[in-house]
Amino acid sequence: MHSFIKIKFFLSYIFLFFTRYPIFSLSFLIIISLLGIFAPLIAPYNPYVADTRARLMPPGIVSGLYNIQNFDLIKTEGQISQTPRWMQLLELENENTKNNLIMKGDQGIIDFKLGPNSNFVDVNRNGDYLDEIKFDNFSNCLGLSQNECPMPDLEFIKIYKVDSKGFIEYIANEDIQDNVNDIISLDLRVIREDTKKWNWWPSGLYLLGTDTIGRDYFSRLIYGARWNLSLMIITGIVGSIIGSFLGIISGWFAFRPKYWIIDEIIMRIVDITSVIPILLIAIMTTIILGNEIWVFACILVLFTWQNFVRIIRAKTLIMRNSEYINSAIISGSSLRRIIIRHILPFHLNDIMVIGTFNCAMIITLEAVLCFFEIAIPRHWTAWGNIVKLASDYWNEGWVTGSYPYRYQLIIPTTLIVMTVFALNFLGDWFRDKLDPKLRQFES
């Protein structure tokens, strides 16, 4: 009984501790911020460069199929012939080419153009690429029967790359006769290596797989944190500066003779911008100005600055008649000095609280606009873009019922939701700690 009471007391203490201090929220935001700051050092791949041969691959060792078709071991040794089989036979007949023979035990080399940015993938991580060479039975015979186009019995002994060409050394385990069993078609597992940022990173290793274009999903998530947080901080700071300044000016000149028109103009602008739906503004500006980053940032600033004006104006109206403000006016202080030295510090608590809630709204609005492909290029690594792209293949694999790629939608959605919750909890904590009335009540 006593042990149960102790456990209950301990759990209650832990609950009160974490509700009193935003440990989880702050820790999550710090981790996301560090990932975003050091994204160029952490991300193993370039998030904007794709390997189209490795599209929509699951986590792990990823590789694409490279097919070598119609390689003639005798007639065009060292080259790839893309001409149909019947044309090759007709050409041989017209030229009265004599049948050549590769004797059993002879060695040969198959060379082919691989490209400067591609390389072989050791899927089994055993230091041997040979187990990734497979005959392609379908394209090998080119519509002919297996008896008319039998596969040669070859033993591959080495595979390597020099510059932009690949080489496969082999030993013939049987006699290979021209125009009988000398045409082969091979499938190789290759990967594009110029997408990697670090040479030490294992070739073809994708921690979270690839998206439908062939880009590393893990790298895009990390760069997405960098993009979202950068956009949130920049637009949040700009919006808070504009909104706080206009709120102070509006509250200072409100109901004053000769200057009341300033307050009226500012507040009418706030009323107009708050009535017009933000999605409608985003659609109109995108149609006129196009999908540009600066357009997207301006939309977010327009959405956030008005939240500051009303609250800052109301508190400025209250404090402008306070004793220390009147004393500053009597002492001859300029309006700029009064605003900077006396009024602005009074609003810092409100600016911090409103700013955290605005940051949460910025993250949400960014995801919504990206999902509807408004005002932001689709190739950018924003979490909203990742969600939109992953939603296109949400039902991929419905035939087997496995749905192997749904995690690519769940992960960024979870990050967006957790970031919004963390910012809201942090804003609540700021409000409780910075508000004198709530702080006095808590104590």
- Do 79 and 178 lie in one domain? The reply is yes
pLDDT of residue 419: 92
Domain count, the chain: 2
Q: Which of 62-76, 204-218, 327-341 has the lowest mean pLDDT?
A: 62-76
Q: In angstroms, rounded to a whole number, what is the distance separating the alpha carbons of residues 186 and 139? A: 9
H/E stretch holding 253 reads helix 217-253
- Considering the domain boundaries, does residue 121 fall inside one? yes
Ranked by mean pLDDT, the top range of 115-129, 210-224, 308-322 is: 210-224
Mean pLDDT of 127-131: 77
| CATH number of residue 379's parent domain | 1.10.3720.10
- The band of 410, judged by pLDDT with boundaries at 50, 70 and 90, is very high
- Do 371 and 252 lie in one domain? The reply is yes
Q: In angstroms, rounded to a whole number, what is the distance separating the alpha carbons of residues 429 and 275? A: 30
Q: In angstroms, rounded to a whole number, what is the distance separating the alpha carbons of residues 281 and 299? A: 8
pTM of the complete model beyond 0.95: no
- Considering the domain boundaries, does residue 326 fall inside one? yes
Number of other CB atoms surrounding residue 288 within 10 Å = 8
**131-134-136 Cα angle (round to 5):** 175
Mean pLDDT of 238-260: 88
- Do 181 and 312 lie in one domain? The reply is no
Counting other chains too, the contacts that 14-17 makes at CB distance below 8 Å and 24 or more residues apart are: none
- Considering the domain boundaries, does residue 428 fall inside one? yes
Residue 337 CA from chain centroid, whole number: 45
- Do 116 and 174 lie in one domain? The reply is yes
- Do 368 and 408 lie in one domain? The reply is yes
Per-residue burial over 342-362, b if 16 or more Cβ lie within 10 Å, else e, is bbbebbebbbbbbbbbbbbbb
Question: What CA–CA distances, in Å, run from 257 to 5, 309, 310?
Answer: 67, 21, 21
Per-residue burial over 90-107, b if 16 or more Cβ lie within 10 Å, else e, is eebeeeeeeeeebeeeee
Domain boundary among the residues 152, 184, 205 is at: 205
Domain span including residue 306: 217-442
- Do 384 and 404 lie in one domain? The reply is yes
